Amino acid sequence: QVQLDESGGGLVQAGGSLRLSCGASGRTFSNYAMGWFRQAPGKDREFVATINWSGGSTTYADSVKGRFTISRDNAKNTVYLQMNRLKPEDTAVYYCAAAVSRFSQVRRGGYDYWGQGTQVTVSS
């Protein structure tokens, strides 16, 4: 079992930046690929970014490529999402997820554990 706890969300103006953190407890963090998803009101939960177990491979949704960066610190059992040049359409609840597979996963179904989410609101 893995417990995930997101933090770092908040209200920011368009063009600003936020860094989300997701702390993991339970089993060995470095055994898991990690991902970030988001869900806006009335929409499905969508893939944002994923990172493999070592941090050596990352994949991004086209909508965030070049603006967001996913990273991890296995010594701190934490994965991060640095979000720059934020847009109002980035407004959503952001979820951290862990996959038993060590390899990056872009599908929701590829993840085994989910956090409770953190709200990000970007004002225009």
Question: How does pLDDT run along the chain (124 residues), one tens digit per residue?
Answer: 899 999 999 999 999 999 999 999 977 888 899 999 999 999 999 999 999 999 999 999 999 999 999 999 999 999 999 999 999 999 999 999 999 988 999 999 999 999 999 999 999 9
> Which pLDDT does position 67 carry in this prediction?
98
> Which pLDDT does position 78 carry in this prediction?
97
Cβ neighbours for 3, distance < 8 A, ≥ 6 positions apart: 24, 25, 26, 113
> Which pLDDT does position 28 carry in this prediction?
87
> Which pLDDT does position 68 carry in this prediction?
98
Encoded tokens for 116: 């409770």
